């Protein structure tokens, strides 16, 4: 139990493949993660959950080796003493109170009952659920449940925290709160692995990303460096307003905008090949127009566009 290699990286994948019968889950992925917050990005079916299940010892790799703190998770449960895991599953023991739920699971780490309760209260406070310790989980909102799950993963003070789509389905307030928690964990020097299929979410938490596509490792590195490359390529911004034609006149004279379109009534689409420059002028231009703006959308600023760009294919949006 105590042979956890302190020097080994938290997560190490070497040439790992997993296929389910004929279907490939992930293909030849090599990866080492140590320290800070890392986002795993990928659309549904890209292989995020497969990697997480492999890390959590639920699946056995078809090929390659997986090491958590230097130990094979399929063979030993020892690494989990230092790992907190937040599953994508939304099922919980609804009949329990959050304090019950977390302290019961904390005892599986070998804590005494008193210690487990003490620590559970602590982590519930940490995720901002201090007032609802004794309420049944079944009565919690989606965001609260998600935070209980995160609290449960933190109760034993792990060095590595793995979160599978923790923001999925949360309302904006819960989302912000969870993001703050994750950032806080990162700043405490813990290794955090968080997955999402929404670029914007990850962007607000971390710069260190891994992008998966069709089971393959597509990119690894700093998100902003990748984004900057993407910014130099054509982008569309969709603005819903009262009078698109008047607004178009204002934009057409601006530097970074090279084209406008009117896809529908009350809609203006502006085209740019320098997104950051466009973002600099858009707010002032809108104020100048004095129009009532219903929404601004950035259809190309998403994961699919990023992946499309990385794949070098044509992004038809």
Partner 1 sequence: MMDEKGLSLRETVWSQLDRKAGAIIELTIRQLRNRISTWVVLGVGFLLMILLLAFYVDSVREGFESIDNDGDSVDMDGDGYPLGQEIKYGHSDWDSNQFPGSSEFIQVSAIGYNDQVRAISGNYTWSGAGTLNPIWIDSNYVGQQWSGIINWFDVDNTSCPLGTVYEDWWPQYFGYGCHYENNEYFVYGKFTASGEIVVPDGSEMLWGYNTELFYVEPDPKSMYINEDDIDWNGILLQKSQGFDDDGDCLRYNWILDSEDGSFYYDNDGEPFDNDKNDNGIICDVLWLLDDDLDEIESIEPDSNVDEDPDDERYMGESSHRTFIIGVGKMAFVIMIGLFLPLFLALGLVRDETENGTLHYLLSKPIHRGEFILYRLLGYLAVTGSYVFMLSLFVGILTAILGPGEGIIRLSDIPVWLGIGFATFLVLAAYGALFNTLGLISPKYGVYISIVFGVWEFVMGILTIANPNWTLSAISINHWALQIIDSVVLLAWPDTLQLQQMASAFNLDTGLDIFWKPPAHTLGTANPTVAILVSIFVLSTFTILMLGIGQSVFKNREIM
Task: Give yes or no for residue 77 binding partner 1 (CB under 8 A).
Answer: yes
Q: Shortest gap between Cβ of 63 and partner 1 (angstroms)?
A: 15
**Interaction mask 225-264, partner 1, x per CB under 8 A:** ----------------------------------------
H or E element: which one contains 241?
Answer: strand 235-241
Query: Residue 209 CB, nearest distance to partner 1 (Å)?
Result: 24
Contacting residue, 7, 91, 134, 292, with partner 1 by CB under 8 A: 91
Q: Whose Cβ is closer to partner 1: residue 80's or residue 251's?
A: 80
The dihedrals phi and psi of 65, each to the nearest 5 degrees, come to: -125, 145
**238 DSSP β-pair partners:** 269, 297
Among 12, 41, 56, 144, binds partner 1 (CB under 8 A): 56
Q: Does 224 bind partner 1 (CB under 8 A)?
A: no
- Please choose, from the candidates 247, 206, 241, 243, the residue with its C-alpha nearest in 3D space to the C-alpha of residue 226: 206
Q: Which is nearer to partner 1, 126 or 309 (CB)?
A: 126
Question: Which structure tokens are listed for 166?
Answer: 């923790």
Q: Token digits for 317?
A: 């949006």
| 69 interacts with partner 1 by CB under 8 A | no
262 contacts: CB under 8 Å, gap ≥ 6:
244, 245, 248, 268, 269
From the list 67, 119, 121, 227, which residue makes contact with partner 1 (rule: CB under 8 A)?
119
Cβ atoms of 14 and 65 within 8 Å: the answer is yes
Q: For 131-198, give the DSSP string.
A: T-TTSBGGGS-HHHHHHHHHHHHHTT--SEEEESSTTTT--HHHHHHHHHHHHHHHHTT-EEEEEES-
Least distance (Å) from partner 1 to the CB of residue 140? 15
Specify the residue, 122 or 279, whose C-beta has the smaller distance to partner 1: 122
Q: Which sign does the torsion angle of CA 170, 163, 307, 215 carry?
A: negative
Kindly give the residue spans of alpha helices, DSSP state H, lying in the chain: 48-55, 98-107, 113-126, 142-154, 172-187, 199-205, 223-231, 244-252, 275-289, 303-310
Note whether 44 binds partner 1 by CB under 8 A: no
6 binds partner 1 (CB under 8 A): no
When the beta carbons of 151 and 257 are compared against partner 1, the nearer one is: 151
138 binds partner 1 (CB under 8 A): no
- For residue 291, count other CB atoms closer than 10 A to its CB: 17
Region of 39-47, 148-156, 194-202, 258-266 interacting with partner 1 (CB under 8 A): 148-156
Q: Mark 181-220 with x for binding to partner 1 (rule: CB under 8 A) and - for no binding.
A: -------x--------------------------------
Decide if residue 58 touches partner 1 (CB under 8 A): yes
- Residue closest to 174 by CA, chosen among 131, 142, 206: 142
Residue of 34, 93, 266, 284 interacting with partner 1 (CB under 8 A): 93
292, 234, 242: which is closest to 267 by C-alpha? 242
Q: What residue ranges bind partner 1 (CB under 8 A)?
A: 1, 53, 56-60, 77-81, 83, 85, 87, 89-93, 95-96, 104-105, 107-113, 119, 122, 126, 152, 154, 156-157, 188
């Amino acid at each position: 139990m105590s042979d956890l290699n302190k020097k080994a990286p938290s997560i190490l994948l070497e040439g790992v493949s997993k296929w389910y019968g004929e279907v490939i889950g992930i293909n030849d992925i090599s990866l080492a993660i140590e320290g800070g917050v890392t986002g795993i990005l990928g659309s549904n079916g890209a292989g995020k959950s497969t990697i997480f299940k492999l890390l959590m010892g639920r699946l056995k790799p078809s090929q390659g080796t997986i090491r958590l703190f230097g130990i094979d998770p399929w063979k030993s449960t020892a690494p989990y003493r230092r790992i907190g895991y937040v599953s994508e599953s939304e099922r919980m023991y609804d009949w329990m109170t959050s304090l019950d739920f977390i302290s019961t699971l904390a005892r599986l780490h070998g804590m005494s009952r008193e210690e487990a309760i003490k620590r559970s209260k602590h982590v519930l406070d940490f995720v901002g659920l201090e007032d609802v310790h004794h309420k049944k989980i079944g009565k919690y909102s989606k965001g609260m449940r998600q935070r209980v799950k995160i609290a449960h993963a933190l109760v034993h003070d792990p060095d590595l925290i793995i979160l599978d789509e923790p923001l999925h389905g949360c309302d904006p307030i819960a989302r912000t709160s969870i993001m703050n928690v994750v950032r806080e964990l990162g700043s405490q020097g813990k290794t955090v692995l968080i997955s999402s299929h929404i670029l914007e979410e990850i962007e607000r938490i971390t710069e260190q990303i891994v992008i998966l596509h069709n089971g393959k490792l597509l990119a690894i590195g700093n998100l902003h460096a990748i984004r900057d490359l993407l910014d130099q390529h054509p982008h569309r911004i969709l603005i819903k307003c009262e009078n698109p034609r008047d607004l178009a006149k204002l934009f057409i004279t601006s530097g970074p905008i090279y084209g406008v379109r009117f896809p529908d009534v009350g809609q203006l689409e502006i085209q740019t090949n320098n997104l950051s420059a466009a973002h600099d002028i858009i707010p002032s231009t809108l104020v100048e127009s004095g129009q009532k703006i219903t929404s601004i959308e950035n259809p190309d600023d998403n994961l699919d566009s990023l992946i499309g760009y990385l794949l070098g294919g044509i992004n038809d949006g």
